[in-house]
């Protein structure tokens, strides 16, 4: 068993920091929305809800960043948050695809999380993408 030797005040501060950070609204990543719309129009999408199995592993993300750069990686995330440095993965929120195609299940997950944590800009962005996906379902 691992003991937490920090004081109660430290644990309370950690809990407070985590709670406050989850309530700071994320901003929509407009480059990501533009890219997602184009990827959907190009027909590169998975209309199923099987996002959990398709979500890229950290190794795949790192390889993508090495090949294409962090900016290209960032365009696969619908929102950015103030809770991390802008050049880190922690800055990016709500992935919508597997770095090649849009996954309907990922967009649904993004919308649900945005609604759950009151990210008022991200939720309608995800809703618009879902509408576009449904329009292109054929």
pLDDT digits (tens), the chain, 138 positions:
444 444 444 434 343 334 444 567 899 999 999 999 999 999 999 998 788 889 999 999 999 999 999 999 999 999 999 877 878 898 999 999 999 999 999 999 999 999 999 998 999 999 999 999 999 876
- Predicted confidence at residue 23, as pLDDT, reads 64
Residue 71, in any domain of the structure: yes
In a domain, 127, yes or no: yes
In a domain, 15, yes or no: no
Residue span of the structural domain in which 32 resides: 25-135
Count other Cβ atoms within 10 Å, centred on residue 11. 11
Q: Residue 11 domain-assigned?
A: no
Please give the Cα distance from 59 to 57 (Å, whole number).
Answer: 5
Query: Does some domain include residue 128?
Result: yes
Asked if residue 10 belongs to a domain, the reply is no
Q: How many domains does the chain have?
A: 1
39 located within any domain: yes
Residue 7 maps to a domain: no
């Amino acid at each position: 068993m691992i003991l937490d030797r920090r004081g109660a005040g430290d644990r309370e501060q950690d809990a407070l920091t985590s709670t406050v950070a989850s309530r700071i609204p994320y901003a929509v990543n407009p480059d990501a929305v533009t890219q997602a719309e184009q990827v959907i129009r190009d027909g590169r999408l998975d209309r199923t809800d099987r996002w959990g199995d398709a979500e890229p592993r950290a190794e795949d993300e790192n390889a993508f960043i090495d090949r294409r750069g962090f900016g290209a990686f960032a365009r696969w995330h619908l929102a950015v948050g103030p809770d991390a440095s802008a050049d880190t993965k922690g800055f990016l929120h709500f992935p919508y695809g597997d770095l090649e195609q849009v996954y309907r299940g990922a967009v649904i997950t993004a919308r649900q999380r945005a609604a759950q944590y009151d990210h008022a800009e991200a939720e309608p962005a995800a809703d618009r993408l879902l509408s576009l996906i449904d329009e292109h379902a054929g």
